[in-house]
Amino acid sequence: MILPVHSRVPICRVTDLKERRTHARALVLVVATALLAVRPAIASGVEVGNVHFAVQAGSESSKLELHGAGVLRYRGLIRAYAAALYLAPGAAADRALEDVPKRLEIEYFWSLEAADFASAADQLLARIEPADRLAVLRDRLQYFHARYEDIDPGDRYALTYFPGVGTELSKNGRALAVVPGSDFAAAYFAMWLGDDPIDAGLRDALRTRISERARN
């Protein structure tokens, strides 16, 4: 039986010191385990939830660097997917929604149908974007969402935006669609990086530079 946090249990003075030392060791172990959830290995990439993300993405002429990574947990418990944010060298995460190069890679732990992506995105965009802005994006969103495919555990989607090119949707490295417009990219990436994202904890993990975690 797990006691409530506010419960007080009498402790014999003889065993008090030993138990406190045991509790301290257990607390250190818990903290260390939490820090290892994201294991930095800056030279080759980072491992998040047993998913590896490379240190760089893109071609030789347009390379992006791994910035942050994290795991989305459904209702805080069930792992849904691992995600990583890539930005241009030296770019600031708090400016990621501006007209700058960016890439979001997401690897899933569960099978999902194509329709699930469109439905979830439509609901979230309706919550975070004004109606007039959504009206401008509507045709591009419908085209983009129609290109989603079913996924199995281990499959990876990527959203990549370059100014003047647009937002590319790819699955396991295979391009599925490209949609033009910095306004489209800002709205779509805001679902993970904006003020009212799908999950604030994941957003903060994506926006925190991996090298800073390594120092901490």
Q: What pLDDT is recorded for position 172?
A: 97
Angle between helix 131-145 and 182-193 (nearest 10) = 90
Does residue 208 contact residue 215 with C-beta atoms inside 8 Å? no
Looking up tokens 């930095």, which residue turns up?
Answer: 40
Does residue 49 contact residue 79 with C-beta atoms inside 8 Å? yes
Pairing outcome for strands 38-41 and 45-48: antiparallel
Domain ranges of the chain: 40-215
CATH code, residues 40-215: 3.50.70.10
Which pTM does this prediction carry? 0.78
Give per-residue pLDDT as tens, 137-178: 999 999 999 999 999 999 999 999 999 999 999 999 999 999
Give per-residue pLDDT as tens, 44-64: 778 988 999 999 987 666 789
* 194 closest CA partner among 69, 123, 93: 93
* 86 closest CA partner among 118, 107, 63, 114: 63
Distance CA 190, CA 203 (A): 10
